[in-house]
Amino acid sequence: MDLLPVFRATIEEWRMLFPGDKVVVGVSGGPDSVALLDLLYRLREDKELSLYVAHLHHGLRAEADEEAAMVSELARRYGLPFFLDRVDVKKHAQQNKLSIETAARELRYRFLLEVAGEVGANRIALGHQADDQAETVLLHLLRGTGLSGLRGIPPVRGPFIRPLLRVRRAEIEAYCQWRGLSPCLDLSNWSLEYTRNRIRHQLLPLLAREFNPSIVEVLCRLAEIAREEDEFLEKEAGKAYRELRREAEEGLGLALEPLKTLPLALARRVVRLAYRELVGEELPFEHVEAVRQWLYRPTGKELSLPKNVKVVREYDSLVFLPPQAKPSSVPFYAYPLRVPGITYLPEVGLLLEARLITPQELGDPRKLPSTEALLDWEVLVPPLRVRRRLPGDRFHPFGYPVPVKLKSFLINQKIPRYRRDRLPLVEDAEGIVWVGGVRISARVAVRPETRVGLHLRLYPFSVQENSTGGR
């Protein structure tokens, strides 16, 4: 059976690919990723795509050498560039106190991002399909989750795309046979040692046999509904958060009485947004509930949250206090800016995508969200890099007549101390050109005569948020 029509329709619906895109294809050697590569190869001329095959040797199984050789040969047959890296997953897991599964996933995503940076790719294609989606939703449900967990695997998150999410595993296997493809079979996918495999081979078949033969389709539909409704609630919570947020001397506050009157669904999300702004991570549900109960405690009492965050009531505000850490708690980093391409900033949990465009493609740069910027490419002086701030940094903000100290500018913009080291700075040979999420430099602002623009976009990135099964 030919999967190309549904594959193409999914790409069009989610606007996953555009003419001229450079795409890194993660290929493990299993049926899903082999079919993904074949389908993208069939689309490459129509979409004017540049494809790059990437395979990570995890060193965990005896068949790993055979799989790497098979993917290498597949890339050779297609005439595509091939990238291979070998990692020690067990060592990484021990050093970072991670499970083998989490360590492998973390190394895999880092590898794909490195390849994307090296070749200047702006998309990374992964082979997750509908059965993976159903398994993920069930797994989250069994562990306990809200709407965000019921969303399952995102079709698009930053540079990552998953065009097979509406295709069943059996359909992919039939497609491989129809196309004469010979993928590898990972025997570990049959081991009942892993929870996901027990869901795949025991729970889902039981549900299909005893309750609903269309259980996979039902769970995938649930994921789509949850995603749409969760996105709506996140937007509403963002509006409420901006209205309730107050600057505090050492942290950030939320207006107490308005917070109490919010619908419960929004109040929980507003609390999570405050915590996320402080430490860049999600606050578990039980701690969200503890904060809500704290709304009614006497002034001056203190509540401890993960990552050494404290919550106190101060008169008419609920105040979140950041960890008492030195400004250098975010280690110094500096990376070459990939243009075009993706630069991974693990120190602050962000991806920075850069691409060249005509300014007309984006319209008025003043209407861009704070996570995006448009610079005049022809004014920039290479090399470009992205880094953490340093003492003595100076910056000429757009709208200012002269350069100022970066620290003074951030204070003037009411950027709290705990956020300042988390702001990525993009600079060229002559100085800072964008304080990520805040302001561009006057020197590089686009003008009516600008012919080529550099479009920058920041994405939050978490290995956990991208966690899935897949083969």
Residue that is last in its domain, among 291, 321, 351: 321
Mean pLDDT of the chain: 91
Contacts of 338 (CB under 8 A, 6+ apart): 116, 117, 120, 354
231 in a structural domain: no
| Domain match, 142 and 182 both | yes
Report the CATH number at residue 180: 3.40.50.620
Kindly tell me if the per-residue pLDDT of 248 is higher than 90: no
| Domain match, 352 and 410 both | yes
Burial label for 217, CB within 10 Å (0-12, 13-18, 19+), is middle
| Domain match, 449 and 365 both | yes
- What's the Rg (C-alpha) of the chain? 24
Contacts of 131 (CB under 8 A, 6+ apart): 168, 169, 200, 204, 216
Q: What is the domain extent for residue 17?
A: 4-224
| Domain match, 202 and 92 both | yes
| Of 271, 314, 304, 449, residue with least CA distance to 376 | 449
Which residues are part of a known binding site for ATP?
A: 28-33
Question: What percent of the chain is predicted at pLDDT more than 90?
Answer: 70
Q: What are phi and psi of 372, to 5 degrees?
A: -125, 155
Note the pLDDT tens digit of each residue in 202-239.
999 999 999 999 999 999 999 999 999 999 999 999 99
| Domain match, 190 and 267 both | no
466 in a structural domain: no
Confidence at residue 466, expressed as pLDDT on a 0 to 100 scale: 52
Confidence at residue 161, expressed as pLDDT on a 0 to 100 scale: 98
| Domain match, 181 and 281 both | no
Residue that is last in its domain, among 321, 348, 371: 321
Confidence at residue 299, expressed as pLDDT on a 0 to 100 scale: 62
| Domain match, 141 and 283 both | no
Confidence at residue 393, expressed as pLDDT on a 0 to 100 scale: 97
- CB atoms under 10 Å from CB of 52, counted, come to 21
| Domain match, 136 and 270 both | no
Q: Is 74:52 a contact under the CB 8 Å cutoff? A: no
Region 429-457: mean pLDDT is 95
240 in a structural domain: no
Note the pLDDT tens digit of each residue in 84-133.
999 988 888 888 888 888 888 999 999 999 999 899 899 999 999 999 99
Report the CATH number at residue 424: 3.50.40.10
| Domain match, 298 and 364 both | no
Report the CATH number at residue 287: 3.30.465.60
The answer to whether the peptide bond before residue 359 is cis (omega within 30 degrees of 0) is: no
| Of 389, 407, 409, 414, residue with least CA distance to 398 | 409
Region 142-160: mean pLDDT is 93
CA 192, chain centre distance (Å): 30
d(CA 189, CA 169): 13
| Domain match, 339 and 306 both | no
- CB atoms under 10 Å from CB of 118, counted, come to 14
369 in a structural domain: yes
Which residues are part of a known binding site?
A: 28-33
Residue that is last in its domain, among 173, 206, 224: 224
Count of the separate structural domains present in the chain: 3
Q: Which residue has the higher pLDDT, 171 or 366?
A: 171
| Of 131, 110, 60, residue with least CA distance to 90 | 60
The answer to whether the peptide bond before residue 340 is cis (omega within 30 degrees of 0) is: yes
pLDDT-derived band at 326 (thresholds 50, 70, 90) equals: very low
354 in a structural domain: yes
Confidence at residue 414, expressed as pLDDT on a 0 to 100 scale: 82
343 in a structural domain: yes
d(CA 453, CA 359): 6
- CB atoms under 10 Å from CB of 429, counted, come to 10
246 in a structural domain: no
Q: Where would I find the H helices in 79-214?
A: 89-96, 100-119, 130-143, 147-150, 169-178, 195-198, 204-210
| Domain match, 308 and 350 both | no
| Domain match, 46 and 167 both | yes
C-alpha distances out from residue 454 to 134, 157, 433, Å: 39, 21, 11
411 in a structural domain: yes
d(CA 337, CA 117): 9
d(CA 371, CA 180): 45
Kindly tell me if the per-residue pLDDT of 185 is higher than 90: no
